Structure 1
Amino acid sequence: MKPFNGFFVFIYYVVGFITRLLHPTDVEGMDRLPQGGALLCPNHASDWDPVMVALVLPVNYRLHIMAKEELFRNPILGWILRRVGAFPVSRGGSDIQSVKTAMQAIKSGDNLLMFPEGTTVRNGIGHVDGLPAHAHGGVAMIGIRTGAKLVPVFVDGEKKPFRRTRIIFGEPYEPRITGKHGTAEEIQTVADEVLAAAYALGGQAVGGKSVCE
C-alpha cells in the first residue's frame, strides 16, 4: 500500500491534530531532507517516536515505516498501519520479507523510517539497562544495497503531555564502503555511525563513541 492515499491523508490530519495538542514539537533540519529514496534513522526512546516523526513530515513525503510485528497482531490496528504505509518486521531474527519490502519502497522513490536500535531505549539517552545503545547492521545493509541516503534523526526521550519534544533531522549521510555491498565490518560501522550521528544532534553520545564527521 502506497503511503499517500485518501485514508492516509485523513489519518494524517486527524491524528496529527490530536498528537500536536498532546505532544507539541520543535523541529529542526527539515530543509536537509532528500526528496526521495531516503532512509530516516532516528534514535528510539518511546513508542510515540514513529508517529511524531511521521507527522512532522510533509503529508506527501511518501513515508513507509518498518514497525515491530506485535503491533500488527491486532486486526484493526494492523489494517490501519498497513493502510498508512507501515509494514511488520520480526525482531527475533532474519526477516527476509521485511527487508525486501523496505528495499522495494526505497527503490520505488519512496522514503523509509527505520530505527537502527530496533527497539525502544528507555533507560537513559543512548543506553539500554546501563549499557551503550547498539545499532543493528540491517539499517546500513538496506541503505547500501538501495543507494539510499541515510538521514540521522534525533528525537527527545521522555514524552510528557504538553511538553515540547525536539525532533532534529541531520545531514544526509552517504556510506563509505569498499566493493559493491561492503564487508560485514563496514556495514556495522555505518550503522554505528548513523546512530551516533542521531544522538549527536541532540548533544548526546553513545557510550562515549565518537560521532561521524
Structure 2
Amino acid sequence: MKPFNCLFILIYYVVGFVARVLHPTSVEGMEKLPKSGVLLCPNHASNWDPILVALRLPINYRLHIMAKEELFQNPLLGWLLKKVGAFPVSRGNNDISTVRTAIQVLKEGDNLLIFSEGTTIRNGIGYIDGLPPQAKAGVAMIGVRTGATLVPVFVDGEKKLFHKTRIIFGDPYEPHYTGRRGTSEEMQKIADDLLAAAYALGGQAVGGKPLCG
C-alpha cells in the first residue's frame, strides 16, 4: 500500500536530514523488530514522535502511521503525510474507515504505528483529573484481529533542540485473550499492558513519571 517511489525517497532523506540536525536520536532494540506485520505502539509526548521513529527505521520498512486528522488540515503537511503512508484518525469518534484502513495495512504485510494514548502527554499535560489517559483499547483490537506482532516502543518525552532523544524498541508482546476476538476487558488490558511496557523501557511509569523517586 505504501508508495515507495522517487518522491518518497526524496522526502525521507530531506526530512531525515533536518530531523537529525534538530532532534538527534539514539536507538536500541531495532534488531528485535520483525520485518512485516508489526504494530508499533509508542508512548506519545510530542508531534515529533512519529517522524523521529519513522526516520530511524529502514527506508524499505513499509511503515504506515495513524495520525490525528488535525495534521492533515494543513494542505502541504497533509499532502506530505499521505505521500509517506500516513492516514488520519478522528480522535474521540468511532472512525470505522480508519480502523478498516489500519486492518488492511497489517493484513497486507505492511507495518503500522499507533499511539495508544490518543493524545500527547508532556510532563503531566494531558492528564485527566491528575491521572494519565487510559490506553485506547482499539489498538489491541486491531492487533488481535490482524494477528499483528505487537511491539512496545519508548520515545523520550521532553524534546530539546540539538539534544539526543532515546528511542527504544521492546520485545514483541504476546497478547492473551479468550475466543477469536477476546472480550472488551481483555482488549483494554492488552492496550494497558502495551502502554506500560513502552514506558517501562525508558524507566518510567505510565504518563512519564519515574518508576523510582
Residue equivalent to 2:22: 22
CA apart distance, 1:9: 1.0
- 8 Å CA contact 1:72–1:81 kept in 2: the answer is yes
Superimposed CA distance per residue, residues 186-209 of structure 1 (whole angstroms, 9 cap, x where no aligned partner) = 00000000000000000011279x
The match for 2:188 is 188
- Once residues 115 and 175 of structure 1 are traced to their aligned partners in structure 2, the CA distance between those partners, rounded to angstroms, is 18
Amino acid at match of 1:37: G
Partner of 1:35: 35
- Tell me what 2:83 maps to: 83
Look up the SS of the partner of 2:87 in the other structure.
strand
Q: TM-score, normalised by structure 1?
A: 0.93
- 1:124 deviates by 3.6
Amino acid at match of 1:87: F
CA distance, structure 1, for counterparts of residue 71 and residue 126 of structure 2: 24
Moved >6 Å (runs of 4+) = none
Aligned CA-pair RMSD:
1.9
Question: How many angstroms apart in 2 are the aligned matches of 1:126 and 1:98?
Answer: 23
Q: Return 5+ residue gaps in structure 1 as ranges.
A: none
Question: Paired residue for 1:99?
Answer: 99
1:36 to 1:112, Cα distance in 2 relative to 1, 3 A: same
Q: Deviations over 1:145-167 (max 9, x none)?
A: 00001100000011101100000
Task: Give the distance between the partners of 1:53 and 1:127, measured in 2 at CA.
Answer: 24
Q: Which string of whole-angstrom CA distances, capped at 9 and with x for unpartnered residues, describes residues 71-123 of structure 1?
A: 11122221111111000000021000000000100000000000010110113
| Inter-partner Cα distance in structure 2 for 1:116 and 1:194 | 9
Q: Can you give the 5+ residue segments of structure 2 that lack an aligned partner in the other structure?
A: none
Structure 1 residues 116-125 or 14-23, which shifts more?
A: 116-125
CA contact (8 A) 2:150 2:172 kept: yes
Aligned residue runs from structure 1 range 1-213, under 5 A:
2-124=2-124, 130-206=130-206
For the residue of structure 1 that corresponds to 2:152, the secondary structure is strand
How far is the alpha carbon of 1:126 from its aligned partner? 9.8
Q: What is the deviation of 1:180? A: 0.4
Q: Secondary structure at the match of 2:71?
A: helix
- Deviation (angstroms), 1:174: 2.1
| C-alpha distance 177-34 of structure 1, shift in aligned 2 (>3 A) | same
TM-score, normalised relative to structure 2: 0.93
Task: Give % identity.
Answer: 72
**How has the CA–CA distance of structure 1 residues 203 and 127 changed in structure 2, closer, same or farther, with 3 Å as cutoff?**
farther
| 2:189 match: secondary structure | helix
Task: Specify whether residues 207 and 53 from structure 1 end up closer, same or farther in structure 2 by C-alpha distance, changes over 3 A only.
Answer: closer
